[in-house]
A and B are shown apart, each in its own frame.
Chain A
Amino acid sequence: MKTALWALLLLAWMAGNAQKAVSQDAQQDRVLALENAWNQATRQKDLKALDRLLAEGLIYINNEGTEMNKAQYLASVSAPERRFDHIVSESMRVQFFGQSAMVVGVFHEKGIISGKEYLHNGRFIDTWIRRGDSWMCVASQSTLIREK
């Protein structure tokens, strides 16, 4: 009887862990998908989509060290003198801390600002917070990778 009970407990524990792993994988996919959605929304200057991805209290620091809140960030994306031709992220890694997720990765961005072409290769850290079934980005910081 005792053995059966232990076996049952072991099975329940294994099932719980397996479910947790699957759930974490699903959340990881979700957060990575949101990162890619952010790139796409920026490229298309889709402010509605960006509004859904970014928390009201967003803190954004760009690669020039400029700090922006959500409104300032959205204004910088929609600025008419700015065009995004290409934005991709790669080598992304997600780490979960309870209801928070940290994403680090590399980005490549190409576009035009005030008639001048630019190409940025950088590294970023984004902090996402789970709100219900969704995730929202609350902090983002990027710096350029220096050419060697």
Chain B
Amino acid sequence: MRTTGWLLILVCAGLLRVRAQEGGKGGATTAVLAQEQAWSDAESRNDTGALEQIFDNALVFIEDGRLATKGECLARVPLAGSHPRQIVAAATAVHFFGSAAVVVGTYHELAVKDGKASPKAWRFIDTWVNKQGRWMLVAAGASPLPK
């Protein structure tokens, strides 16, 4: 869903340098980052089935001032799938607060409109909650970075 819909696009996603903010959370950090990666991969494949498993039913997603629910996020996938897109995500930190994990990072998106490429960059906060051993995405928000 980190996308503007129409536009260009090839997909690659990567999670780069990450540091856990609390000691002894290495396993949880890996698990949360694996979910972040699974999310990017599922987006790239337009795999709504996989996204369905990653998104909590109560998911709230805000990008560019727009609010979307889980259903709205999933509904946007086939639309995005008709266009290739390139998204490179880089998580920079995972913070744990009880059973919640907050991931901070940036992602870069290459979009093309009317033949013109326009790169965009965002800083995001994703919030994951551990539900019966599985990390579910409950909130995601992104703010555009200045060009």
For residue B114, CB closer than 8 A to chain A, the reply is no
Report chain A residues within 8 Å CB of B127.
Answer: 100, 102, 125, 127, 139
- Known contacts A99-B99, A129-B98, A139-B125; decide if A64 and B146 are in contact (CB<8 Å): yes
- Please tell me which one of the listed residues A67, A129, A130, A146 contacts residue B64 in the complex, with CB atoms under 8 A apart: A146
**Overall SS of chain B's interface:** strand
Flag A67-105 by CB within 8 Å of B: 1 or 0 each: 100000000000000000000000001010111101010
Report chain B residues within 8 Å CB of A102.
Answer: 58, 60, 127, 138-139
Total A-B residue pairs with C-beta atoms closer than 8 Å?
Answer: 117
Interface contact B138-A143, CB-CB below 8 Å = no
For residue A141, CB closer than 8 A to chain B, the reply is yes
Report chain B residues within 8 Å CB of A95.
Answer: 58, 60, 138
Which B residues from 54 to 113 make CB contacts under 8 A with A? 56, 58, 60, 62-67, 93, 95, 97-100, 102, 104
A100 to B100, CA, bound (A): 7
Report chain B residues within 8 Å CB of A65.
Answer: 121-123, 143-146
For residue A34, CB closer than 8 A to chain B, the reply is no
Interface contact A143-B97, CB-CB below 8 Å = no
Q: Give the A interface residue count (CB, 8 A).
A: 34
Interface contact B60-A138, CB-CB below 8 Å = no
Closest residue of A by beta carbon distance from B129: A97
Closest residue of A by beta carbon distance from B99: A98
Interface contact A98-B143, CB-CB below 8 Å = no
Which of the segments A4-12, A14-22, A36-44, A54-62 contacts the partner chain?
A: A54-62
Closest residue of A by beta carbon distance from B131: A97
A145 to B21, CA, bound (A): 31
- Chain A nearest CB from B125 CB (Å) reads 4
A65 to B97, CA, bound (A): 22
